Amino acid sequence: LARGAAGPDLAGRHVVVSAGGTREPLDPVRFLGNRSSGKQGYALARTAAARGARVTLIAANTGMPDPAGVDVVRVGTAVQLREAVLKAAPDADAVVMAAAVADFRPAQYATGKIKKKDGEEPEPIVLVRNPDILAEIAKDRAREGQVVVGFAAETDDVLANGRTKLRRKGCDLLVVNEVGESRTFGSEENEAVVLGADGSETPVPHGPKEALAEIVWDLVGQRLS
């Protein structure tokens, strides 16, 4: 099995990685967001570059500096993330969706700051669905043999929910994390199971996000060759 240490096994390959979490604006100063730090996506980008790949990193609201030797596209919302992924995908051997995409966005954007009024209850926030980027790229496969990978954070029935989600999304691999209040978000470490559409199950022991990233690229590499 070709590992990162063994040489540049992704040389000549182009991979697209999304990282971070989308923010859906309510008004010029407020948004609906999530707690994704982007660290797992950056680890995927760094390790792919170290293994010889050309890497496009689509970063949603991550505070980190651009990794060396990686093309970084910065986005804010789910709609912008979708545009950036669809633009990069036709040329990609693999697309890894590590970003946390907001499922919903506010139906209305207030161009001026929303103000409270004395004695009045606040207006409810009406939400609409965002596009499912992973399902769309997995269904359309911009390129023959392209490997599509998703990430899922689950709190209960992790494996059963992961299997159902893998099928629903139509991706080749789904990295399933068990999360809780103090686990995964913003942390340097991760623990996961990688489920394959071929029925495979690869447990990833608790360890640095780089180690999980290497295993993801091993599994992607197997499917590319």
Coil/strand/helix, residue 140: helix
Annotated binding site for CTP: 103, 113, 131-134, 151, 165, 169
Partners of 31 in the beta sheet?
Answer: 25
Structure tokens at 57: 């990193």
- Pick from 69, 68, 74: which is nearest to 20 by CA? 74
Distance separating alpha carbons of residues 146 and 95, to the nearest angstrom: 8
For residue 150, state whether it binds ligand CTP (rule: CB under 6 A): yes
Distance separating alpha carbons of residues 54 and 79, to the nearest angstrom: 24
Residues in the chain: 225
Choice between 22 and 47, CB closer to Ca ion:
22
User: Mask of contacts with ligand CTP, 69-108, x by CB under 6 A?
Assistant: ---------x------------------x-x-x-x-----
Q: Which amino acid is at 66?
A: D
The 8-class DSSP code of residue 144 comes to: T
For residue 133, state whether it binds ligand CTP (rule: CB under 6 A): yes
For residue 131, state whether it binds Ca ion (rule: CB under 5 A): no
For residue 103, state whether it binds Ca ion (rule: CB under 5 A): yes
Output the smallest distance, CB 101 to Ca ion, in A: 7
177 is known as an active-site residue: no
Residues near ligand CTP (CB under 6 A) are 78, 97, 99, 101, 103, 130, 132-134, 150-152, 165
